[in-house]
Amino acid sequence: MKILIPMSRTEDPYAKILVRADGSDINRDNVAMVINPFDEIAVEEALRLREAGNEVEIVMVCIGGSEVEKEVRRALAMGADRAIRIDCSEELSPERVTPLLAPVVEKESPDLIIMGKQSIDGDSGQVPQRLAQRLNWPQATFASDLKVQDGKATVVREIDGGLETVAFDLPGIVSTDLRLNEPRLPKLPDIMKAKKKPFEVMGVDDLGGLPAQPVTVVHLAAPPEREAGQMVEDINELVAKLRDEAKVLS
């Protein structure tokens, strides 16, 4: 079984993010970059499927310049077998990512695609669904449990009302949620071995070219500072403040 894992490089979720003074973008100077956490969960899940006794080849695919290779090598150190980088330095959105991923999927012919439900920088959460629609593949989003057996994937997914179990015949797409697993830390020998694993670089033109950017970010702004909370003596004072000052009670 071949598992393809699209991944992105994002800012460390624990880093303090600041907006540039002109509002054009966030300030990435001296900000640590990591594998998108949901994509790291996807790598871990593929490894667990292999460790469950399945014969699995794990292929990473990412889009970006040479700067993304550090994070991809970390996925290889975790246990992925090889990687593909689509060389692109232009700004990306889900509408541009999907047409680049689809030809790679067609070339690789994976049995299963596992990917994060969203990238934490843009938080759009669109790429898995857009890719499934383009490929005309079944999909299961927000997975908190995944089992693959006899050419069928069974997924427990998180929904507003609780949990839902769905199943589909492979090939298909699964997007990961936080509760699916906890990714492992690569060991030093594996980090060294990852430097020698196959790493293919493809050009955008090899995949039909980059679509036009349909969405442009006009301006970014930091959220307003939250006002300090107030302490009240009892419920009567709380009700009075909500009624007289906040005007949320009549």
What pLDDT digit, counting tens, does each position of 78-125 carry? 999 999 999 998 888 888 899 999 999 999 999 999 999 999 888 888
d(CA 146, CA 180): 8
Q: Which long-range contacts (CB under 8 A, 24 or more apart) does 49-57 make?
A: 49/1, 49/3, 49/146, 49/148, 50/79, 54/1, 54/148, 55/1, 56/1, 56/2, 56/3, 57/1, 57/2, 57/3, 57/81, 57/82
Q: What is the mean pLDDT of residues 54-66?
A: 94
Sketch the domain layout of the chain as residue ranges: 2-212
Check residues 71 and 17 and name the one with the higher pLDDT. Answer: 71
User: For 49, what's the count of Cα atoms within 13 Å in the CB-facing half-sphere?
Assistant: 30
Give the model's confidence band at 17: pLDDT under 50 very low, under 70 low, under 90 confident, else very high: confident
Output the average pLDDT for the chain.
91
Write the CATH number of the domain with boundaries 2-212: 3.40.50.620
Residue 246 has pLDDT above 80, yes or no: no
What is the pTM for the complete model shown?
A: 0.86
Give the model's confidence band at 56: pLDDT under 50 very low, under 70 low, under 90 confident, else very high: very high
User: How does strand 152-159 pair with strand 26-27?
Assistant: unpaired
d(CA 46, CA 1): 10
Give the residue among 45, 215, 204, 189 at the shortest CA–CA distance from 117. 45
Give the model's confidence band at 216: pLDDT under 50 very low, under 70 low, under 90 confident, else very high: confident
Residue 72 has pLDDT above 80, yes or no: yes
Q: How many residues are present in the chain?
A: 250
pLDDT at 46: 97
Beta bridge partners of 10: 34
What share of the chain in percent tops pLDDT 90?
64
Give the model's confidence band at 230: pLDDT under 50 very low, under 70 low, under 90 confident, else very high: confident
Give the residue among 59, 103, 68, 65 at the shortest CA–CA distance from 198. 59
Q: Tokens at residue 100, please?
A: 């680049």
Question: Which residue in the block uniquely carries the two structure tokens 């900000």?
Answer: 31
